[in-house]
Amino acid sequence: MEDSDEQPADRDAIPGEDVGVSTIETAVQARLDALDAGNYRANTELVLEGFAEFLREERGVDDLKELTVLDCRRYAQHLRNRADDPDDALSAASTHANGPYFTIVRAFLSWCVDDERLDANPARPNRVRDALPEYHGDRDRQFWSSEARDALLDALDERVRVELDESQDPDPTPFRDRAVVAMLAFTGVRGAEVFADPRDEHRDGLRWGDVDLDRGVARVLGKTRERQSIALTDGVVDALDRYRRVLAPPTDEWPVFPTRHRPSLAGAAREGLADRGWAGEDIEAALDEHGSSELLRRHGIAPPALSKNGARNLMQRLCESAGVDVDGEYLKPHGGRRALGDRLYAADAELAQETLRHESIETTHDAYREQNAVERRERIEDVLDEE
């Protein structure tokens, strides 16, 4: 038999995949292909795409076999930095050693070992876990009190009345602000589901095309990255309806809560007009003559939505103006969701679960364990009183 430079074919090789070569992206895709469709697969895809991007852009690593323990430790430090950033969507609850981000990455690398793509899991050593943020429970669990909520809404109602009395062409801003507070107070929505997240191109704010006022529902991109329906109570429908009449959005793609940040509006106008073939000098001349807001409306270019950070700043200004606070702090956006969940949970745990869109009732029980403790205390007292 003649000698040959060709090697025997690997019987387990995947068609189209080079034997002995496994990029991180191909490994991620193989991992996703091995999972059933659903929330876990969607969450895994989100986390692993971010992991691969970090390795590629920050560490210069594309080949899975070149991945080291130090690369994983640097990723853990990256998660820690994101958890420390108040403007970032990630929290220590998501990024600590037993949180979803690190757990998904570690599970992926363990799968790579089982699939004979890696010899060992580089995310397993303790020095990687030690770089992750610590988590000792959610200490910032503000709940809007009904008194503070109503006081803020009353102040915003008064601003709307003044605007209607004093202007034939009302400014939409007071109507927008009241609708923002109503949405946060009475729908259980998360801020990232209605406001823009600059770190996530898919979270660009709630659009009017997503809102059905006649049926009292809206569609949002949920935490699971699936489109989900939220219920709009009568007060929310009324606030949105009156706001929409004043705003008069030219298209369904118009954000429900557009930003008022002038540089962002001007940037959107420049980009939109350039896409329509306008020359740079013509764009600048039009901006000088009409202003960015008018140009956006005239040409049907949707402005950027209010960002999550912008919403926090807005709530702070509104609370300061109305003299409203909860334990000395302004009403934070997520506090409205927690407060609504707390009130619903006390009446009907399953209604709270459905409204907050928790995946399981256990999640709802865990979120309101304090409410559980209060109820248990009352039941214990009832039993003792019967003795």
pLDDT in tens, 247-289: 999 999 999 999 999 999 999 999 999 999 999 999 999 999 9
- Confidence bin at 236 (pLDDT 50/70/90): very high
The pLDDT value given to residue 4: 36
Using the predicted structure, report yes or no on whether residue 10 has a pLDDT greater than 90. no
Q: How confident is the model at residue 379 (pLDDT cuts 50, 70, 90)?
A: low
Mean pLDDT of 6-12: 39
Tens of pLDDT along 348-364? 889 989 999 987 887 77
Give the DSSP per-residue string, 30-88: HHHHTSPSSHHHHHHHHHHHHHHHHIIIII---BGGG--HHHHHHHHHHHHHHHH-TTS
| pTM (predicted TM-score) | 0.64
Give tens-digit pLDDT for 56-82.
Answer: 999 999 999 999 999 999 998 988 888
Is pLDDT above 70 for 377? no
pLDDT for 9 equals 38
How high is the pLDDT of residue 146? 92
- pLDDT of amino acid 99: 64
Phi, psi at 32, each rounded to 5°: -65, -40
Above 90 in pLDDT, residue 188?
A: yes
Average pLDDT for the chain: 85
What's the pLDDT band for 20 if we cut at 50, 70, 90? very low
CA dist., res. 83 & res. 77, Å (int)? 10
Contact 190, 223 (CB under 8 A): yes
Ordered domains of the chain (ranges, CATH) = 24-129 (1.10.150), 146-328 (1.10.443)
At which residue do the structure tokens 């920050």 appear?
58
